[in-house]
Amino acid sequence: MQKNSYESLSKKNKLLFLAGLFDGEGSFGLWKKGRNQKSFQCAIEMADKDILDRFSEYFGGNVHKCKIRKVHWTQTWRWRLSGKKAYNCINKIIGFMCKRRRDKFDGIPK
């Protein structure tokens, strides 16, 4: 079976691809974990599960099916990481992301 273009990329180029996608579609920050706790998390929600599987393969984490919020909406999926794995993921890709995202990451307590 012939590899697709993504599968043919080097590990570094896969990272660049995922960073660009995350910059446009992803989110990260300190999110509520429990009643009085927050944890660093990163996530992407989209209709293309195969793309999210690439994040899971590269960084870990899970891809979950989201509840369809309105009958006429397309099924979406969410990839999410939390804690140290999430921080390490963003730390690897932040240098390739826009200034707004870099500033936000710099403001997160380490």
pLDDT in tens, 30-57: 988 777 888 999 999 999 999 999 999 9
Q: What is the pLDDT of residue 35?
A: 79
Are residues 30 and 39 in contact, defined by beta-carbon separation less than 8 angstroms? yes
pLDDT in tens, 61-107: 999 999 998 889 999 999 999 999 999 999 999 999 999 999 999 99
Are residues 63 and 77 in contact, defined by beta-carbon separation less than 8 angstroms? yes
Beta-strand (E) ranges in the chain? 27-32, 38-46, 62-65, 77-82
How many DSSP H helices and E strands does the chain contain?
4, 4
Q: What is the pLDDT of residue 36?
A: 82
Both tokens of residue 75?
């099924």
Distance CA 15, CA 87 (A): 15
102 sits in the region (left: phi over 0; alpha: psi -120 to 50; else beta) called alpha
**Residue 19 pLDDT more than 70?**
yes
Q: What is the pLDDT of residue 38?
A: 87
